[in-house]
Amino acid sequence: MSHARSTHFTRRGLLAAGGVLGLGAALAACGDDKGGDAGSEGQAKGSRSGSWSFTDDRGTTVKLDAVPADIVAFTGAAAALYDYGIQVKGVFGPTKTTAGKADVQAGDMDVSKVTILGNTWGQFNIEKYAALAPDLLISTMFDDAGTLWYVPEESKKKIAQLAPSVGVSVYDRQLTQPLERMWKLAESLGADMKAAKATDARKRFEEASARLRAAAKAKPGIKVMAGSASDQLFYVSGTNLSIDLEYFKALGVRFVEPPESAKKQGGGWYESLSWENVDKYRADIIMMDDRTSAIQPADITKATWRKLPAVKAGQVIARSPEPILSYDKCVPLLTGLAEALEKAKKVS
């Protein structure tokens, strides 16, 4: 991790000394990247007071004159904060499905109460972002270079001019680490971490972890494969780099592990297989990517898929490769796998 870099912003930094004129000047400097659709404006600026600072996983310390109230966040991060009682004003990333319903990554958020700056990869409406007068942007990071997830590379400098950012790493570590970081971030933003909802969820997570550990110990011969489906390819994830799989492996779950050489095209994350070769690895349980960008098991029509022993045995469960980082939302990830292990038969 690099040495801490301190950035100090006030809400007046870009938008004051000119009101609407200042906003117009900021937008002129930033250009006009359009994308996404808009919901309602979200909560009004809160009454929190007192200076605020937070050092994120890039080693960057953000300092503000007051606790940020007007927050914009990647959808999954916003969903985690929502579970702790923090309502963001705007979101970017998968928020609504094509049917207009809340995306799986939106969790329990009412997506009609946030401004959606972009719903798909590459979308981030800077004009709408500036109009929200954000105090802070929050996202996750899937690499060690500090790249903010779903912040477009071509417009990241313009976006950074409008508000400071906080990044929570979900790269090459176990699930418990980013969960703890999001807990600390929510606490710093004013969440009541002593509330029963928060403490009960944390306790349930610990209990679910113990259950999964026991299930894995009781079924040492059962092997799990983490997959994701597209029309042309089937992706097999290795446990390295993924926060959920690394944690499950630490609890004793045995996974299919593609060799490093096979994962090169997937940046070290996964191996790509043609559907003709989907039976390359033997597995008793298959965990399938639940994101809307992936084809779901019920919709896979490939004959080679239907012939897999785990599929024929009905031993296919959902996996969330981008977990919502609240203890409440991570409990089902553990209990779902634990239950699958407890019931699983050796079929490979």
- Give the tens place of pLDDT for each residue, 182-234: 999 999 999 999 999 999 999 999 999 999 999 999 999 999 999 999 999 99
Q: Which residues of 47-83 are buried (b: 16+ CB within 10 A; e: fewer)?
A: eeeeebebbbbbebbbebebbbbbbbbbbbbbbbbbb
What was the pLDDT predicted at 28? 38
Residue 42 to residue 90: CA distance in whole angstroms: 7
Residue 246 has pLDDT above 70, yes or no: yes
Bridge partners, residue 8, by sequence: 63
High-pLDDT (> 90) share of the chain, %: 85
Confidence of residue 1 (pLDDT cuts 50, 70, 90): very low
Which has the higher per-residue pLDDT, 18 or 234? Answer: 234
Residue 8 has pLDDT above 70, yes or no: no
What was the pLDDT predicted at 49? 58
Structure tokens belonging to residue 200: 């009960």
Which has the higher per-residue pLDDT, 124 or 15? Answer: 124
Mean pLDDT of 241-255: 98
Residue 34 has pLDDT above 60, yes or no: no
Confidence of residue 50 (pLDDT cuts 50, 70, 90): confident
Structure tokens belonging to residue 285: 């349980």
- Give the tens place of pLDDT for each residue, 167-185: 999 999 999 999 999 999 9
Give Rg (Cα) of the chain: 21
Mean pLDDT of 319-324: 98
Cβ(113)–Cβ(42) below 8 Å = yes
What is the rounded average pLDDT for all residues in the chain? 89
Cβ(215)–Cβ(338) below 8 Å = yes
Confidence of residue 91 (pLDDT cuts 50, 70, 90): very high
What was the pLDDT predicted at 15? 32
Mean pLDDT of 316-339: 98
